[in-house]
Structure 1
Amino acid sequence: MRSSPSPAPEHPSESGPGLGWRADRGSAPVEFLLVGMLVVVMGLALVQVVLMLHVRNTLTSSAYEGARHAAQADRTLADGEQRALAMAADALGGIATQARSRTDTAEGAPVVVVELTAPVPVLGLFGVGSVTVDARAFDEAP
């Protein structure tokens, strides 16, 4: 005569030594908290990268506008610096920006170079170090 197999246990803890499913009890809130903190930190890091790229791209655009302004026939390098600083101040608000300008040549043609420097935002809009961008425009002066 065949013996019938024993019924399957209802809980893993009934099948052998150890606590089984009871050892995991209460771990969901802890896992949620840890994963939630990781997601928040990664989200804030992404926001900081986006903010840093925004500052760099805005400085590049402002430097280009200043170089184009200074390259006009009736303008000076100082006019280009002021234009670049005004554009950066309008777009970035309270970030301190410094400007320098010079003339250079590109394949024998005279160009105006405007360089902007601003702090790198690491924590919000505050940061250590700096980012420097430059832009060139062909000089229209005769």
Structure 2
Amino acid sequence: MFQGLKPTSRRDTGAVVAESAMIIGLVTLLCGTILQIGVIIHTRNTMIDAASAGARYAALADRNLTDGQKRTAALLASSIPNAESAIVTIGRESDGELIRVTVTHHLPMLGFITAPVPLSATAQAYDLTP
């Protein structure tokens, strides 16, 4: 009937359980790594967006640099955890036409728990008001 198949020996019993445990561990680690990369990219993109929105807000005719800095901090606080530890600096370039906002925060390493690795984003906006 099935002459090519051999019955499994006693040494092979239980090998499937061990192999499954190793594969499940690797797949879990891979999925966790992919999710963490997504959190890092989300944090970076949020910092860039908040910096550019703050720079544009400060460039409005009836606003100043302090308003842009507060706007950036408010956007960060509503978007990412631990945003109160972010450092927001704002200033004008030497020619006076550009407003530059820099956001420095720590890189999220385990979920949104931050590590001592700095992550920085900078944005600029033209201030065309006289």
TM-score range with shorter-chain normalisation?
A: 0.7 to 0.9
Q: Do residues 98 (structure 1) and 87 (structure 2) align?
A: yes
Q: State the shift of 1:77 in Å.
A: 1.2
- Asked whether the equivalents of residues 118 and 131 of structure 1 are also in contact (C-alpha less than 8 Å), the reply is yes
Q: Do residues 63 (structure 1) and 58 (structure 2) align?
A: no
Aligned mates of 1:72, 1:133 — CA distance in 2: 21
Q: Do residues 11 (structure 1) and 43 (structure 2) align?
A: no
Deviations 1:9-31 (A, max 9, x none): 7627xxxxxxxx41322100000
The partner residue of 1:89 within 77, 95, 106 is: 77
Q: Normalising to structure 2: TM-score of the pair?
A: 0.87
- Asked whether the equivalents of residues 81 and 112 of structure 2 are also in contact (C-alpha less than 8 Å), the reply is no
Identity percentage over the alignment?
A: 28
Aligned mates of 1:10, 1:62 — CA distance in 2: 65
**Structure 1 spans left out of the alignment, 5+ residues:** 1-7, 13-20
Alignment root-mean-square deviation, CA: 1.9
- Asked whether the equivalents of residues 112 and 139 of structure 1 are also in contact (C-alpha less than 8 Å), the reply is yes
Aligned mates of 1:9, 1:139 — CA distance in 2: 81
Q: State the shift of 1:88 in Å.
A: 0.6
The partner residue of 2:119 within 128, 131, 140 is: 131
For the pair shown, the structure with the greater C-alpha radius of gyration is 1
Instruction: Report which of the two has the higher share of strand.
Output: 2
- Asked whether the equivalents of residues 74 and 141 of structure 1 are also in contact (C-alpha less than 8 Å), the reply is no
User: Greater relative contact order: 1 or 2 (C-alpha under 8 angstroms, separation 6 or more)?
Assistant: 2
Aligned length: 125
Q: Do residues 76 (structure 1) and 64 (structure 2) align?
A: yes
